[in-house]
C-alpha cells in the first residue's frame, strides 16, 4: 500500500518542492497539505493535477486523511509542536526543519520510543551532503586544523546551519587535537573568526541567490583539503525525503540524521 503523507509548511519553497516530489513518487500518496496560510490550491502550487487545498488545522488533517507520515519544513517552534501532534495521533514525523533545540529533539525522541513509532529528524536530506559529512569525518583523522563555511539563502533563520553543527560535532570526535584550546585571536570586528562549536570555527553566510552550500577546509603543513557540497535547487533534497518517508513507517524509534537510514 502507498504511504499516505501530509506536508506541513506547504506554502514555503521547501514545502512546494516536497509536495511535487511526493505527488510524483511511486508507493507514496500525498493526502494533505497544511500551512498557517490556508486555502490555496495544491494543484496551482506544484503545477500538477491534484485535488487538494492547503488547510490550517494539522490534527484535523492528519485524522481525516488517516495519514501515515507527516513531512515538516516549517520553523523550529512550529516543527516541534507539529511533531508532537503527529506522534500523539500515531503519525510518523519526518522533520527537515532546522534549529530545533536539543531538549525538543529529546522530547520527540522519547515520545516515539514510548509509542514504538518511527520518526526521522535530519538537518539535511541531500545525499551529497551526507557524503560530504562522512568524508570530512574521515579526513579529520589525518588533519588537526579545520574550519567550516556554510552558505544559505537569505531567508534561513538559524545560524549556524544544522548541517554545519552536525559536521563539527562529528569531526571533533576524530581530531587528534583538543579544539577547545584554539589560540585566542584579536578580532578587530567581533565575530570575525566565526562561531566556535567544539572548538571548530564556523562561518555562516546568508545571501539571496544561494540555496544550501558548505565547505569543510582542513589545513596541514604546506597543503589544504577542501570538501564541499552544493545544493543548487531544492530538488536536491527530494530523494532523501522520499527515502525517509518510505523507511520511517517500518521503524519503531526516532532516527536522528539521514545517514542512519542509508
Q: Any catalytic annotation for residue 29?
A: no
**How does strand 200-206 pair with strand 195-197?**
antiparallel
What whole-number distance in Å separates Cα of residue 222 and Cα of residue 245? 45
Own/partner pairs for 43-46, CB < 8 Å, 24+ apart?
45/10, 45/11, 45/16, 45/19, 46/16, 46/19, 46/20
Which listed residue (20, 152, 229, 247) is catalytic? 152
Gap between the terminal Cα atoms of the chain: 22
What's the grid cell of residue 28? 507514496
**Quick one: which of 159, 70, 175, 173 has its CA closest to 123?**
159
| E strand or H helix that includes residue 248 | helix 238-248
Q: Any catalytic annotation for residue 229?
A: no
Which listed residue (13, 153, 156, 169) is catalytic? 156
DSSP single-letter state for residue 71 = E
Angle between helices 102-115 and 76-88 (to 10 degrees): 10
| E strand or H helix that includes residue 162 | helix 162-172
SS3 label, residue 11: coil
What whole-number distance in Å separates Cα of residue 53 and Cα of residue 158? 29
Mind telling me the catalytic residues? Answer: 152, 156
Amino acid at each position: 500500500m502507498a504511504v499516505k503523507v501530509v506536508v506541513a509548511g506547504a506554502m514555503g519553497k521547501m514545502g512546494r518542492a516536497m509536495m511535487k516530489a511526493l505527488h510524483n513518487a511511486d508507493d507514496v500518496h500525498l493526502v494533505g497539505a497544511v500551512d498557517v496560510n490556508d486555502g490555496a490550491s495544491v494543484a496551482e502550487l506544484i503545477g500538477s493535477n491534484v485535488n487538494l487545498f492547503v488547510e490550517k488545522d494539522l490534527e484535523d488533517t492528519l485524522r481525516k486523511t488517516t495519514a501515515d507520515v507527516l513531512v515538516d519544513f516549517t520553523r523550529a517552534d512550529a516543527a516541534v509542536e507539529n511533531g508532537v501532534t503527529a506522534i500523539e495521533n500515531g503519525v510518523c514525523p519526518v522533520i527537515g526543519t532546522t534549529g530545533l533545540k536539543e531538549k525538543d529533539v529529546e522530547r520527540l525522541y522519547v515520545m516515539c520510543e514510548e509509542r514504538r513509532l518511527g520518526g526521522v529528524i535530519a538537518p539535511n536530506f541531500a545525499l551529497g551532503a551526507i557524503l560530504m559529512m562522512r568524508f570530512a569525518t574521515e579526513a579529520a583523522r589525518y588533519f588537526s586544523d579545520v574550519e567550516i563555511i556554510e552558505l544559505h539563502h537569505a531567508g534561513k533563520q538559524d545560524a549556524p546551519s544544522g548541517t554545519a553543527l552536525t559536521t563539527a560535532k562529528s569531526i571533533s570526535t576524530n581530531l587528534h587535537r583538543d579544539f577547545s584550546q584554539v589560540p585566542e585571536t584579536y578580532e578587530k570586528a567581533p565575530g570575525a573568526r566565526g562561531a566556535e562549536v567544539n572548538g571548530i570555527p564556523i562561518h555562516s553566510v546568508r545571501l539571496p541567490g544561494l540555496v544550501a552550500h558548505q565547505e569543510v577546509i582542513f589545513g596541514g603543513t604546506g597543503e589544504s583539503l577542501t570538501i564541499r557540497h552544493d545544493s543548487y535547487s531544492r530538488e536536491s533534497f527530494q530523494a532523501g525525503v522520499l527515502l525517509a518517508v518510505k523507511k520511517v513507517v517500518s521503524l519503531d524509534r526516532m532516527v536522528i540524521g539521514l545517514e542512519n537510514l542509508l
